[in-house]
Amino acid sequence: MNAENTTVVNVRMPQQIKHDAQQILSELGLSTSDAVRLFFRQIVDEGGLPFQPRLSAETLQAMADAEAGRLEEVTLDQMKAELDAIH
Protein backbone atom coordinates (compact mmCIF):
# COMPACT_ATOMS: atom_id res chain seq x y z
CA MET A 1 0.00 0.00 0.00
CA ASN A 2 1.58 3.29 -1.04
CA ALA A 3 0.74 6.81 0.09
CA GLU A 4 -0.86 7.62 -3.27
CA ASN A 5 -3.58 5.04 -2.71
CA THR A 6 -4.40 5.80 0.92
CA THR A 7 -6.69 8.19 2.73
CA VAL A 8 -7.12 9.31 6.32
CA VAL A 9 -10.19 8.41 8.38
CA ASN A 10 -10.94 10.46 11.51
CA VAL A 11 -13.33 9.02 14.07
CA ARG A 12 -14.70 10.53 17.27
CA MET A 13 -15.51 8.13 20.10
CA PRO A 14 -15.44 8.00 23.88
CA GLN A 15 -11.86 7.82 25.21
CA GLN A 16 -12.58 4.74 27.31
CA ILE A 17 -13.83 2.73 24.32
CA LYS A 18 -10.71 3.66 22.35
CA HIS A 19 -8.46 2.75 25.28
CA ASP A 20 -10.18 -0.59 25.93
CA ALA A 21 -10.18 -1.51 22.23
CA GLN A 22 -6.50 -0.61 21.84
CA GLN A 23 -5.61 -2.88 24.76
CA ILE A 24 -7.44 -5.80 23.17
CA LEU A 25 -5.97 -5.07 19.74
CA SER A 26 -2.48 -4.89 21.22
CA GLU A 27 -2.95 -8.35 22.73
CA LEU A 28 -3.92 -9.54 19.25
CA GLY A 29 -0.85 -7.90 17.71
CA LEU A 30 -2.92 -5.36 15.79
CA SER A 31 -2.78 -1.59 15.61
CA THR A 32 -5.90 0.55 15.55
CA SER A 33 -5.22 1.25 11.86
CA ASP A 34 -4.91 -2.49 11.16
CA ALA A 35 -8.26 -3.12 12.85
CA VAL A 36 -10.03 -0.33 10.97
CA ARG A 37 -8.63 -1.61 7.65
CA LEU A 38 -9.80 -5.14 8.50
CA PHE A 39 -13.24 -3.85 9.49
CA PHE A 40 -13.66 -1.84 6.29
CA ARG A 41 -12.42 -4.78 4.19
CA GLN A 42 -15.06 -7.02 5.82
CA ILE A 43 -17.78 -4.44 5.13
CA VAL A 44 -16.81 -4.48 1.46
CA ASP A 45 -16.48 -8.28 1.30
CA GLU A 46 -19.79 -8.89 3.11
CA GLY A 47 -21.67 -6.08 1.41
CA GLY A 48 -22.68 -4.79 4.84
CA LEU A 49 -21.70 -5.00 8.47
CA PRO A 50 -19.77 -8.18 9.29
CA PHE A 51 -21.97 -8.78 12.34
CA GLN A 52 -25.65 -8.52 13.27
CA PRO A 53 -26.29 -5.30 15.21
CA ARG A 54 -28.49 -5.74 18.27
CA LEU A 55 -31.02 -3.18 19.45
CA SER A 56 -31.06 -2.16 23.10
CA ALA A 57 -33.89 -3.30 25.36
CA GLU A 58 -35.08 0.32 25.54
CA THR A 59 -35.27 0.58 21.74
CA LEU A 60 -37.05 -2.78 21.44
CA GLN A 61 -39.60 -1.65 24.05
CA ALA A 62 -40.16 1.65 22.24
CA MET A 63 -40.73 -0.23 18.98
CA ALA A 64 -43.22 -2.58 20.66
CA ASP A 65 -45.03 0.38 22.23
CA ALA A 66 -45.23 2.13 18.85
CA GLU A 67 -46.58 -0.99 17.12
CA ALA A 68 -49.19 -1.42 19.87
CA GLY A 69 -50.26 2.22 19.62
CA ARG A 70 -48.96 3.08 23.08
CA LEU A 71 -47.35 6.37 22.13
CA GLU A 72 -47.37 9.51 24.20
CA GLU A 73 -48.50 12.50 22.19
CA VAL A 74 -46.05 15.37 22.36
CA THR A 75 -46.63 18.85 21.01
CA LEU A 76 -44.01 20.83 19.12
CA ASP A 77 -43.76 23.24 22.06
CA GLN A 78 -43.08 20.33 24.43
CA MET A 79 -40.34 19.01 22.14
CA LYS A 80 -38.75 22.45 21.90
CA ALA A 81 -38.84 22.84 25.68
CA GLU A 82 -37.18 19.44 26.16
CA LEU A 83 -34.47 20.28 23.62
CA ASP A 84 -33.87 23.67 25.25
CA ALA A 85 -33.52 21.95 28.63
CA ILE A 86 -30.64 19.76 27.43
CA HIS A 87 -28.71 22.55 25.71
The residue ranges of the chain whose pLDDT is under 70 are 1
CB–CB of 11/21 below 8 Å? no
Q: How far apart are CA 52 and CA 23, in angstroms?
A: 24
The CATH number assigned to the domain holding 28 equals 1.10.1220.10
Against a cut of 0.75, is the pTM above it?
no
- Which range marks the domain in which residue 26 is found? 3-86
At 3 the pLDDT is: 74
Q: How many domains does the chain divide into?
A: 1
Residue 73: the pLDDT is 86
What is residue 29's predicted lDDT score, i.e. its pLDDT? Answer: 97
- Predicted pLDDT of residue 4: 82
State the pLDDT at residue 23: 98
